[in-house]
Amino acid sequence: MRQHLAWTLAAAAALAAAPTASTAAPHNCPRLTGTWYGDNRARLQQVIDSHGTCSGHRGAVATFDWDNTVTKNDVTDATLSWALRHDRLLRPVRWKDTSAWLTDAADHALTAACGTGAGAPLRTSTRPRCTDEIVRIRETGTTTSGAPAFAGRWNHRRTVPQYAWIPQLFAGRTPAELASYAGSARREALAAPVGATRTLGTRTVPAYVRYYDQQRDLIRTLMRAGFEVYVVSAGAEPVTEVWSRAVGVDAAHTIAIRPVLDRRGRITVRNEGCGGVPATRGAVIPYIDGKRCWINQEIYGVQGAAAWQRQPWKRRPALAAGDADTDVTFVGDATGAHLVINRNKPELMCRAYDDADGHWLVNPMFIAPLPRRPEPYPCATTARTHPDGMLGPLRRADGTVVPDRADTVY
C-alpha cells in the first residue's frame, strides 16, 4: 500500500481540522495569484490561511532554498562567471590552502593552469585553461582531466567541498566587494534573454537568471499574511543577500555560507559553524542536514548538538520549499506544506512522491521544466546519501523502505 493506514488517517484528520481557503478565510486575506500545477495554489493558500493572520496567527515561519527554487539558474554560479570574466579572484599562495580536501591532482592542475603567488589578481579573462579548471571543479568535483578534485573524509550530509570552495575562492576580498560582483552579475543575468548561454573559458554555461514570478508572489503573500520568511541557501551569503532583497527578504532573514573574516574585514577560507561545530574550512555549511541545523540555530535559537535534530512541531517552519537533495531535510521538517520544484533529484523526489504525511506538493520548474524522468526513482536502493557518502535505500520514520516511485509531475 502506498501509505500506511496510520499516516493516511493522520493526514485526513489534519486536513479536516484545517480551515480551507474557500470557507474559513475572510475574503480580504492575502491571495496567491499566478499559474501553479494542479491544485498546488489552493493547497498553498490553505496553509497561508490556516497559519497566518487570517486565522489569528502571526510569526509562522516559511523557509525557501534559493537557487532553482526562487530563481531559475544559480546566482552563485552567475557571480563566479562574472568574476572570472573580470579577473576578480586573487591568486592564492597555494591552491591546497583553499580547501581542506583539495587533492594533489587538483592542486597541480590549478597551479599549471593558473599559477600561484599571493594576492595578485588571476587573469582568468585571458587564461581559458585556468577558468576551465575552476569551473570544472565547481561543476563536477573533478579536474579537466577527470581526476578527483577533492578527497578525504567529510560528512556528506553536512557539506560538499565544491560548494564550500566558492566562497573560499574569494578569500582576500571583502563581503562588500563580493556583493558588488553579485550586483553586476545580477544586472547582466537579468538582462540576458531566457535560454541565453555564454562561453566561460571553453565551456558553455547559462547566461541568464530569472526570478520565478510564482515564488515571488508566494513570498510576498506569506509576508502579507504575517509569516516570517527566510532564505536558506548553500551559496555564498553576500551573493544570496543581493538577490533575496528583491523579493523583500532582508539580510537578517538570509542564511547561507558565512565566511569568517580576518582582522581587516576580508574573506578567509574558513566559514562559520553550526550545531556546536566551530568555524572550519567548510566542514559544516547549509547543506542537507546542515540546512536544518542553521534553521534551528538562527531562527529558533537552538544551540549545540540539539540543532541537528528535528524540533517539536511549534519550532519548525509551517512551509518549506526546495528543489534538490540538499533541501530534503529542512523541506521535510515543515509542518504545513513541503513544496518541491521538480529537478529530478532522487532523495527529494522519493520523499515527495511517497507523500508520507499528505502535505508534499510537487511542481514542475516554472521556466523550461524538465521532461518526465523515464525510469522510476531508485528509492528502495540508492536514493539516500549517507554521512560517509555511500548510497542506500530511503526509509520512512517507521523504518520501512520507500518503494521506487515514478515521475508523475513534470
C-alpha distances in Å from residue 349, one per residue of 11, 55, 333: 19, 31, 15
Centroid of chain to Cα 40? 21
C-alpha distances in Å from residue 83, one per residue of 52, 80, 204, 289: 41, 5, 16, 30
> What count of other Cβ atoms lies within 10 Å of the Cβ of residue 188?
17
C-alpha distances in Å from residue 391, one per residue of 19, 156, 175, 326, 336: 40, 11, 36, 14, 29
- More confident call, 5 vs 396: 396
Res. 6: pLDDT tops 60: no
> Is 340 within 8 Å of 361 (Cβ atoms)?
yes
Res. 26: pLDDT tops 60: no
pLDDT score for 57? 87
Q: How far apart are CA 111 and CA 142, in angstroms?
A: 15
Sign of CA dihedral 116, 122, 127, 130: positive
274-304 pLDDT, tens digit per residue, is: 999 999 999 999 999 999 999 999 999 999 9
Return the C-alpha cell found at 164: 564550500
Q: How confident is the model at residue 18 (pLDDT cuts 50, 70, 90)?
A: very low
Q: How far apart are CA 320 and CA 62, in angstroms?
A: 6
The structural domains of the chain, with segments of one domain joined by +, span 5-72+210-227+318-392, 75-206
Cut 0.75: pTM above it: yes
48-100 pLDDT, tens digit per residue, is: 999 999 898 889 999 999 999 999 999 999 999 999 999 999 999 999 999 99
Bridge partners for 205 per DSSP = 198
Long-range CB pairs of 6-9, under 8 A, 24+ apart, other chains included: 7/356, 7/357, 7/358, 8/358
Q: How far apart are CA 15 and CA 359, in angstroms?
A: 9
Who contacts 403 (Cβ-Cβ below 8 Å, separation ≥6)? 379, 380
- More confident call, 344 vs 57: 344
